[in-house]
Amino acid sequence: MRKSFLVVVFLAFCPLLVAQQTMNNDAIIKLVKAGLSEDLIISTVNGSTGQYDTSADGIIALKTAGVSDKVVAAIVMKASGGGAAAPAKPTLADDGSVIAPTNNPGNPDDPASSHDAGIYIYNDGAPTGSKMTLIEPSIYTQGKTGGIFASAMTYGIAKVKVKAVIRGARSNMRVSSENPVFYFYFEQQGAGLSYGSSFGGTSTPNEYTLLKFDVKGDSRETVTASANAFGASSGNDEKATTGFTFTKLRPGVYKVVLSAPLKPGEYGFVVSAYSRVFDFGKD
């Protein structure tokens, strides 16, 4: 009876005793030969500092000495510095509400998953795997229209409108919803992001204007500025401007919704400084 009691006390305090010393392969083999349980040895490995040999020869020596696979796995994990992951901090929207984490970080249909930089249209009715669609940017050219004769007659005082022109009368990207939802993913999470790539040096949707384009023959165009002899000023045609609001989901990621239902036509998110437009059409 006394002997059994001593064994129980030894097993209970063994982890505390070995925690005071640095464990290694030889110490684990001694514990195995002493008849300690697998669970107790694993607890000892996890609760003690260790200098283990996890090379092929070291692991073979452990197995030859009768160390179980679970104990060897615990030793390898300990040697690699592995451990329980710290709980993730909740992601907050601008209004302070918690954004539910995605169940699948690699799900292409989930706006909370990681995506390449760009502007995406979300279509809940699309087939699985294609609900988030990237809008490929187009390059537009600038031209002058309206007021040219008046400007000439007034020696440059009258303003000339500057327009953005996209080749093709119709965008390849189409939406059917009157209330499409857009997601902006930026490469960096601060000003001056994207390194001049196709998403081009912007940091928030606030730097974009959503404009409606007029179809003229085989091209689309809209007014983006006006100019006269005394200088130029940015000024989109108010009739062509579509309002929107946005919510910051996490650094570098924004959800964009329109302020009013979208009417049929050709549209694009425009940043004048980069001559790029993320164009799409509403059928």
pTM over 0.75: no
Together in a domain, 54 and 126: no
Residue 216 lies in a domain: yes
Together in a domain, 129 and 267: yes
Residue 93 lies in a domain: no
25, 12, 16, 21: which is closest to 74 by C-alpha? Answer: 25
In order, the DSSP letters of 106-159 are: T-TT-TTS---SEEEEE-TTSPTT-SEEE---EE-EEEEESSHHHHHHTTT-S-
Q: Express each pLDDT in 107-143 by its tens digit.
A: 889 998 888 899 999 998 888 888 999 999 998 887 6
What is the per-residue pLDDT for 11?
Answer: 46
Q: b or e along 84-117 (b: 16 or more beta carbons within 10 Å of the residue's beta carbon)?
A: eeeeeeeeeeeeeeebeeeeeeebebbbbeeeeb
Together in a domain, 269 and 193: yes
Averaged pLDDT score across all residues of the chain: 77
For residue 40, the 8-state DSSP code is H
Asked if the model's pLDDT at residue 40 lies above 70, the reply is: yes
Residue 88 lies in a domain: no
Together in a domain, 103 and 29: no
Least confident of 30-34, 146-150, 262-266: 146-150
Residue 84 lies in a domain: no
Max Cα-Cα span within the chain: 116
Together in a domain, 182 and 277: yes
Asked if the model's pLDDT at residue 104 lies above 80, the reply is: no
Together in a domain, 72 and 127: no
Residue 119 lies in a domain: yes
- Of 79, 111, 130, which one is at a domain's C-terminal end? 79
- Of 49, 79, 109, which one is at a domain's C-terminal end? 79
Together in a domain, 71 and 202: no
Task: Tell me the Ramachandran region of residue 69: left when phi exceeds 0, alpha when psi lies from -120 to 50, beta otherwise.
Answer: alpha
Return the ∠ at Cα 142 (arms to 141 and 144), rounded to 5°: 140
Residue 89 lies in a domain: no
Domain of 107 in residue numbering reads as 98-282
C-alpha separations of 156 from 160, 174, 179 in Å: 9, 41, 42
Residue 86 lies in a domain: no
Together in a domain, 68 and 123: no
What is the per-residue pLDDT for 196?
Answer: 47
Residue 87 lies in a domain: no
As for how many domains the chain has, the answer is 2
Q: Within 13 Å and on the Cβ side, how many CA atoms surround 274?
A: 21
Q: Express each pLDDT in 212-259 by its tens digit.
A: 999 999 999 998 775 544 444 445 567 889 999 999 998 889 999 999
Strand 91-92 vs strand 98-99: parallel, antiparallel, or unpaired? Answer: antiparallel
